[in-house]
Structure 1
Amino acid sequence: MFAQQKEVKKDSVIAEQLEEVVVTGQYSPQSINKSVFEVKVISRAQIEQQAGNNLADVLNQTLNINIIPSASTGKSAVQLFGLDGQYFKILIDNVPVINDEGLGNNTDLTQMNLDDIQQIEIVEGSMGVQYGANAVSGVINIITKKNSKYQWEIMPYIQEETVGGEYGLFDKGRHIQSIKVGRKISNSWYANAIYTRNDFAGFWNDKKGKSHDLNDGKRGYSWLPKLQNTAKALLTYKGDNAFRTFYKFEYFNENIDRYSEQVNPNYNPSTQTSAPIGDDLVFTSERFYHHLNFLGKWRDDFNYDISLSYQQQKRNVETFKYRIKTKEKFDVEKFEYESRKAFYSRGNFSHFLKQDSFDFQFGYEVNHIDGYASSVSGSFDGENIKRELGSYDVFGSSEIYVNDKFSIRPGARLLTSSVFNTQAAVSLSAKYIFRNEVEIRGVVGSSPRLPNYGELYTYFVDANHDVRGNENLKPEQGSSIFVHIKKGFDLTKDGTSKLLSKLSLNYLNVSDRIELTVVNQIPLQFQYINIDSYRTLGAFFNNTMNYKNLKASAGIGFAGESKVLDSKVLHNDDYLYRIQFNANAAYYAKSLGMIFSTYYKYNGPSQQFVQQQNENNETVLIRGRQSDYSWLDASVRKDFLNKKIQLTLGARNLLDITEVNTTALEGGAHSGSPSTVLLGYGRSYFFKLVYNLNF
């Protein structure tokens, strides 16, 4: 937890060492080169160069990760290995974070504020032994800062962005204000508090806002406006015998406004006047996050790391009618839409033996989730759904150091639950270093995925529909194999400039996949059952270079997906392949006090088998195709007044991507397939001004 306290000198932002210290999946914080797992790191320097405020801002340029925004809900989800947010976990300091739809899963990336972040760690592959159920495709672990070398830290900043080509001081663009106050009370105690306000005024595009009173389909916004307020507090203590403890609190509030496109003219013939009315609503999300951690040694014998967390996130909705001309609300109704309360505890215990050749770890993970979903948020037979889920896991692993070149780490977890049958997860990791310093890592792992509310409890039955959940569903089973081959090269004799090359090969399989399936033809009935499977394989090659004041990296990925859709009469399980490429570079012009950065990512065409009607009105299977597209971001940062003031200017989405053509999506029950996929709101510009009052 406390490994990331190392202060990085400002002048070394570009020439930082390749040997990062990582936390995720380790017995204790250690050099990334010593880790048996392969961990990707997004550093604080990269976050600052991109002026990233939330997780969606910085993950979009990462190879093998796709960000999927929704203009209609205001949320941004993530795909990893083609699997959605149900299959991977987002953690803060090793604790899964709650959200509207789960604990650690289905997280809205735009709700994850990065103001107190040291680095972001990404581990790909099934991590069920380390992190339990639903860690099928991997985990993203956000490591926060927990101390300072200064007695006082006072850091306010403002950030202004255009949204596409739109900007205004109050009604257009993105406006962020934040302030951090930290105090090093003594050599043992440190505390800080952070407040951030993030106002996204929506993307108007061809719409005309909430005050538009004509019934021409132009009212509202193409991307919904939302206002976020985040308050955080931290208190840490460092004692004797390597003892550490911290308490972390976060309060998050988000309002998303949705305005109806259709306007009721509300014409009064007696007065020959109209008072246009819109049917509008506001979604409000609130999150409370508490995390208490104890870390240290017991009588110099073994290490312990215990976390206790209580979290709650609820989503409320306010529906009302809005008199557009007089700006009045009436017929207001408020109710709870979705809610999650979770108690979570995790404990790791390791280093029992005082020897370098062998070590073992055991641990526990307990969580109790009390969930609620309004009948309005899903088709639940007209009733609200209230369910509790308790999970009680124990896990263990051992590290065997055969010699200084070869180590191996087997592990297993037993997952018990108040709802599902007992599950198991296993893993086997190994690392070998050849004489020429080539490192090879192999990681085999498994993880189940638990069914969600909709899959369990949906009940949508009327004269035209019969769609039902299934409380007898069993968890999906995920497994993966990863091989990583890495080699470092010295570019200069003094070893200060380096090149690191890495080749990764992977295979991931999900069986017993849950899908909505036709269970009866006449009358037509649908139900969720365990029937499908999913496979992906790929190869990724990445190079990272530090040369003097230049840091650059480039990677290419080639992946194939195969879906065995037994839930459909027509399907094809052939592998469909896709290529990705990314490159970024940062140059530190020391004499100017400036850092120039650029980030590029190419997403090649993707394919998917879809059903279509042919000329004879027969259902046939075709290969649908989504067009390729690229992201390009750039920024420059300038330091003033001995680095007390930092100004960052930049642009996102320089290639002006908004949507791409596709034939790879099927239509709904009453509509044809969409022809485009929404990706962004176009080229945007930003500036960020930071004042570091540290002493």
Structure 2
Amino acid sequence: MILNKKLLTLYFSFFSASLLFAQEKVSDTTKIEQLEEVIVTGQYNPQSIKKSVHNVIVIDREKIEKQAANNLADVLNFNLNLNIIPSSQTGQSKVEFFGLDAQYFIVMLDNVQIVNDNGFGNNIDLTQINLDDIERIEIVEGAMGVENGANSVSGVINIITKKTLENDWQIQAFVQEETVRDEYEWFDKGRHIQALSIGHNFNDKWTAKINLNRNDFAGFYNGRKGQNHYTDDGLRGYDWLPKTQLNGKAILNYNTDNFKAFYKFEYFNEDLRYYDATVRPNINVQAQTSNPSSTDRIFTTNRYINNLIVDGKLKSGAVYNATFSYQKQERDLNEFNYYIITKEKSNETDQTYQSSNVFFSKGTINNLTKSDKFNYQLGYETRFIKGFDTQASGDVTQQDKEMKQNNNAVFVSSEINVIDKLLIRPGVRYEYNSMFKSQLLGSLHARYLFNKGYELRGSIGSSYRTPNFEELYYYFVDSNHDVRGNQNLKPERGFSSFLNLKKRSWFNDISMSNNLKFSYIDLKDRIELAVVNTLPLQYQYINIDGYKLIGCSLENSIKKDNWAFNLGATYQGISRIMNNEANAKNDFLYALQLNTSATYFINKWNTAFTLLLKHNGKQQNYIGDGSDNEGNTLFKKYTTNAFTWMDASIKKTFLDKKIDVTLGARNLLDVTTVAIDGASTSGIHSSNNSGLLLGYGRSYYLKLLYNLNF
């Protein structure tokens, strides 16, 4: 904790010095402001970051390319307040945002939420979001309930597709080869990616594009012997399961001055392969032979996305947007008895155990007034969700619990220019849900532009999280267990408040940005698995707990000529409030995050050098540890140790940007398992975990990309 305070002091000193230095030599910013990036998330109309009422974090295409990022998990890991949590056995990577898991924020594609196994927009596997045709990623922190409704408690991530081409024809192909720690072969080890993109401008109005991508992760052996190992010594299979992903996209874009239409079709397929470590020898005594076998599984995911987005301007000047989306995702299980030597299968079964179908539509209209001082937006949103999850409803019953949920909402907000520098945006949303009580959500955002490049933004807002399938329907009962879902659960209620002070400075050929942010999140009626009966012992999901977060962040960037440097820190405290526990510890527990990046470009060589680093400080939490004489749970503190991620890359272009070569390394500090001290317990909430598996170690990659434009 002393080290954390010293690091914070250093960061505050750097921030203060930057502000003082920047005030002295501010130059004309007109030219620079014209180049400022345009954003769309949470805006009435596309506009610059400076004019936005929200504080929006942008990850542009250049940053994605420098990291050779292929999916969303690759690129988000170095952002403050975001933690990527991978699973070696499911192959999924989920994310924590302000200490809350992936159920509390929304991932969108062009402002449309994405269907997945466990939700709609939330709780998505980041490795399943391909970035080949992506122009940029926009992140908005804080509750976005008025704009996006349920599950946007901690924020939204909006992935923006590149819709236009600079040339009549654009053909792009690349291959990317990666080691998995020290494991690599052409086919059976490592990570192998191939992609092809073809785009064409038919005329100044019509554009079409197709993308194909194959991502083959051959698994991580880590001392295990793979699929063909037939000795029953516990070494068969993989430490990280192998999987293959196929992704196909097609877009059609129509663009005129007063009307735009954009259609996107996307197909995603993933095969995840599980090889059981237990080997049955199957000895035939009479023939003196053996035919060893194991029970293996193949998990197959298929996702289809159809999005149609229409934008237009009426003669009155009003601007409208309408979005229509139909999405479907299924997860199938193929289980069989595999004879390892003869490579034959028996007792093969197939089932679809997770399925989601969603129809989604959203529309807005604004610019309904002629006033420069006042504007307002009217909107609707509707979604129809149907799905089931056999796995979540229990391994004993194996019953499909189909869920149908209709959600209809109307919302209104207004932008009021109180004075030239002050903009406020109040908003309200009414949301009807067929399964849960209707919700009334509100928000208030404000932006004030001071002199000398200072920008102040504040926001307060509410959202909520709906219970997931497992919390509603889980059922597992045998002689030793009684764990059940609860169809009477009510949604969790979330409230957030953010205050952001930004300073932009330009002097000579140096540009600087300093950002100081305070955050507060309060979550009520949090759903937890709790003891509802002691004799016999029964567990059930109930609304019992709360969650609070307070935090302070500093983000600083400096750019000069061919180099750029970024330095950031977050210090946040989290309190998990367990109202049903007499001895619960509800104190705020604090943790520190640091990140930095540096890029240097050498014009003569057409070469960029990039270094990324993120430090996650020690994180403390409370865990149940036995009971007192009255049967109340006792708690003790445990600590997840600090760890640091570091990546580096070199990107060089040849032949007038026709060929790009990117060479890099991920996880240079070789992080694998992070130790957890004091987590072993013997009580009701017992845990024997001694480490958190976060990575498979230092790996290297080479990406070769060819661009053909004519």
TM-score by length of 1: 0.95
Partner Cα separation in structure 1 for residue 559 and residue 34 of structure 2: 8
Matches within 5 A, 1:36-115: 36-115=53-132
- In the alignment, the residues of structure 1 paired with residue 368 and residue 685 of structure 2 have an alpha-carbon distance, to the nearest angstrom, of 62
Alpha-carbon separation, structure 1, partners of 2:266 and 2:639: 43
Q: Please tell me whether the aligned partners of residues 516 and 567 of structure 1 are also in contact (alpha carbons under 8 angstroms).
A: no
1:267 pairs with 2:283: yes
How do 1:450-529 and structure 2 match up within 5 A? 450-492=466-508, 496-529=509-542
Change (3 A) 1:150 1:159: same
- More deviation, 150-159/467-476: 467-476
Provide Cα deviations, 1:70-93, integer angstroms capped at 9, x if missing partner.
Answer: 001000000001111110000000
What is the aligned counterpart of 2:692 among 661, 677, 681? 677
Amino acid aligned to 1:244: K
* Structure 1 equivalent of residue 241 of structure 2: 224
Secondary structure of the corresponding residue to residue 263 of structure 1 = coil
C-alpha contact (below 8 Å) 1:283/1:318 kept by paired residues? yes
- Cross-structure match for 1:659: 673
Could you tell me how far 1:685 is from its partner in structure 2?
0.2
Equivalent pair of 1:607/1:664 in contact (CA under 8 Å): no
Unaligned runs of 5+ in 1: 1-14
Q: Please identify, of 147-156 and 266-275, the stretch whose mean Cα deviation from structure 2 is larger.
A: 266-275
Following TM superposition, by how much is the alpha carbon of 1:469 offset from its aligned partner in structure 2, in angstroms? Answer: 1.6
Q: Secondary structure at the match of 2:479?
A: coil
User: Which residue pairs with 1:401 in the alignment?
Assistant: 417
Residues 489-523 of structure 1 show CA distances to partners (whole Å, capped at 9, x for unaligned) of: 1131xxx5300000000000100111112111112
- In the TM superposition, 1:316-335 aligns within 5 A as 316-335=332-351
**Partner of 1:643: helix, strand, or coil?**
coil
Paired residues of 1:67 and 1:76 also in contact (CA < 8 A): yes
2: CA distance, partners of 1:369 / 1:672: 36
Q: 1:568 to 1:219 in 2, by over 3 A?
A: farther
- 1:312 partnered with 2:328: yes
Structure 2 equivalent of residue 237 of structure 1: 254
Larger deviation: 43-52 or 260-269?
A: 260-269
| Distance in 1, Cα, partners of 2:633 & 2:471 | 27
Alignment equivalent of 2:603, drawn from 590, 599, 619? 590
What SS does the corresponding residue of 1:52 show, helix, strand or coil? coil
Alpha-carbon contact 2:583-2:632 (below 8 Å) kept: no
Aligned residue for 1:110, secondary structure, equals helix
Once residues 33 and 621 of structure 2 are traced to their aligned partners in structure 1, the CA distance between those partners, rounded to angstroms, is 41
Amino acid aligned to 1:400: I
Distance in structure 2 (CA, Å) of the matches to 1:519 and 1:619: 13
Please give the alpha-carbon distance, in whole angstroms, between the structure 2 residues aligned to 1:392 and 1:131.
12
1:690 is the counterpart of 2:705: yes
Q: Which residue of 2 aligns with 1:627?
A: 641
C-alpha distance in 2 between matches for 1:72 and 1:670: 23
1:276 Cα offset (Å): 0.8
Match of 1:295 in 2: 311
Q: Which runs of 5+ in 2 are unaligned?
A: 1-31
Matches within 5 A, 1:9-408: 19-240=36-257, 242-375=258-391, 378-379=394-395, 381-408=397-424
Cα distance in structure 2, aligned partners of 1:667 and 1:207:
30
Distance 1:117 1:664, change over 3 A: farther
Counterpart pick for 1:421 among 426, 437, 441: 437
- Contact 2:680–2:686 (CA<8 Å) still a contact in 1? no
Which TM-score applies when normalising by structure 2? 0.93
- 2:462 and 2:613 map into 1 onto residues whose CA distance is 33
CA, structure 1 residues 75+216, in 2 after alignment: closer, same or farther (shift >3 Å)? same
Q: 1:11 aligns to what?
A: none
Q: Secondary structure at the match of 1:280?
A: strand
Quickly say closer, same or farther: Cα 1:615–1:388, change in 2 above 3 A.
Answer: closer
**Aligned counterpart in structure 1 of residue 663 of structure 2, from 640, 649, 654:** 649
Q: State the shift of 1:612 in Å.
A: 2.6
Give the whole-Å Cα distance in 2 for the aligned partners of 1:379 and 1:366: 33
Instruction: Give the share of equivalent positions with the same residue, in percent.
Output: 48
Bigger shift: residues 436-445 or 634-643: 436-445
- Alpha-carbon separation, structure 2, partners of 1:425 and 1:286: 34
- 2:116·2:356 contact (CA, 8 Å) conserved in 1? yes
Q: Residue 563 of structure 2 aligns with which residue? A: 550
Is the Cα contact below 8 Å between 1:515 and 1:567 reproduced in 2? no
Structure 1, residues 369-407: CA drift from partner, whole Å, max 9, x if none? 011112576357441111100000111100000122111
User: 2:452 and 2:543 mapped to 1: Cα distance?
Assistant: 48
When residues 78 and 17 of structure 1 are mapped into structure 2, their CA distance, relative to the original with a 3 A threshold, is farther
Distance 1:392 1:618 in 2: 43
Question: Residue 4 of structure 1 corresponds to which residue in structure 2?
Answer: none
Task: Kindly provide the CA deviation profile for residues 329-384 of structure 1, in whole angstroms up to 9, marking residues without a partner as x.
Answer: 11110000100000000101110011211100010010000111125763574411
SS at match of 2:116: coil
Q: How does 1:528-539 map to 2 (within 5 A)?
A: 528-539=541-552
Change (3 A) 1:285 1:664: farther
- Contact residue 337 and residue 377 of structure 1 kept, 8 A: no
Q: Give the C-alpha shift of residue 452 in structure 1.
A: 1.1
Which of 570, 574, 598 aligns to 1:561? It is 574
Hey, what's the Cα distance between the residues in 2 that align with 1:295 and 1:380? 50
Deviation at 1:327, TM superposition (A): 1.2
2:656 partner SS: coil
Report the RMSD for the aligned CA atoms in angstroms: 1.8
